[in-house]
């Protein structure tokens, strides 16, 4: 499995980014791995708590691990948007080596306190930790649940110093769900990158232009999350399929996911 902490630092130091692609099932996982196998570049395959609820923790972990190993790609499994310690503990015990704790909707002090607990547990088990400062209004899936709060540079720096996280996700105009008009506040992102050393993470990247993504990479973003574009590609192709055998319809969906993932790997790696 990929050394996530090391790979993220290498990405920031060398001006590329790691694509983190979300999955919920065997078919999407296979498609992600097939796309990654075309390039000698590291990726992450992510599962959210809702994906784990849908597929089962051990089942989805085994699927992703087996597909990574059989395809011989440079990849690791990442837990995305975990909001309580219970699911983090279960994921680490199952074998996850990279996790994201999302305490962004708590107060700064509460977010710090909970993240410190997560970091201590994760690092004791050799697990890389991502956290988040600032609030992205749209939750996983694109559901609007409040107002965005842009990340404040000095607050991000203080959070990192207090918690010891390995990477940090920020809110700089990015949104889950690929809403129209999604645009990164590049000057704000630059201010954050100028005063921190750890890798930056961009959630909600499906709605961003390739130009904004490349600009963000040059500033210091080392990981981009792609979920919405994968879901839309898979579902729309299956819905429009004329196949009589559902397996053939699923294959058509997989082919579209493979195209989406390959497209982003090229952008993230300047290929």
The set of catalytic residues is: 80
Structure tokens at 3: 């050394």
Cross-strand bridge partners of residue 131: 168
Contact present, 203 and 136 (Cβ < 8 Å): yes
Cross-strand bridge partners of residue 227: none
Nearest alpha carbon to residue 200 among 143, 147, 159? 159
- How many beta carbons lie within 10 A of that of residue 34, not counting itself? 18
Q: Which residue in the block uniquely carries the two structure tokens 């129209």? A: 180
Contacts of residue 104, defined as CB under 8 A and 6 or more positions apart, other chains included, come to: 111, 132, 133, 134, 135, 136, 169, 171
Contact present, 254 and 27 (Cβ < 8 Å): yes
Contacts of residue 159, defined as CB under 8 A and 6 or more positions apart, other chains included, come to: 108, 111, 112, 115, 131, 133, 165, 168
User: Distance between CA 102 and CA 84 in Å, rounded?
Assistant: 8
């Amino acid at each position: 499995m990929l050394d996530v902490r090391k790979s993220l630092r290498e990405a920031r130091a060398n001006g590329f980014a790691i694509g983190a692609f979300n999955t919920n099932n065997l078919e999407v996982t296979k498609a992600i791995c097939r796309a990654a196998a075309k390039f000698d570049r590291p990726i992450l395959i992510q599962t959210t708590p809702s994906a784990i609820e849908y597929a089962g923790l051990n089942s989805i972990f085994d699927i992703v691990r087996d597909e990574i190993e059989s395809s011989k790609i440079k990849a690791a499994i990442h837990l995305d948007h975990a909001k309580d310690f219970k699911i983090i503990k279960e994921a680490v015990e199952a074998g996850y080596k990279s996790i994201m704790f999302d305490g962004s909707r708590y107060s700064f002090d509460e977010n710090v306190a909970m993240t410190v607990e997560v970091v201590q547990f994760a690092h004791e088990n050799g697990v890389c930790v991502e956290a988040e400062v600032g609030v992205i209004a749209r939750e996983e899936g694109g559901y609007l649940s409040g107002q965005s709060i842009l990340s404040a540079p000095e607050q991000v720096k203080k959070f990192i110093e207090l918690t010891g996280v390995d990477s940090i996700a920020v809110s700089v105009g990015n949104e889950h769900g690929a809403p129209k008009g999604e645009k990164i506040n590049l000057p704000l992102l630059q201010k954050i990158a100028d005063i921190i050393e750890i890798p930056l993470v961009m959630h909600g990247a499906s709605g961003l232009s390739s130009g904004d993504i490349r600009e963000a990479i040059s500033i210091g973003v080392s990981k981009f999350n792609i979920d919405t574009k994968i879901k839309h590609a898979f579902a729309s192709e299956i819905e429009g399929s004329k196949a009589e055998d559902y397996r053939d319809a699923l294959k058509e969906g997989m082919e579209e996911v493979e195209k989406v993932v390959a497209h982003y790997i090229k952008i993230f790696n300047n290929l």
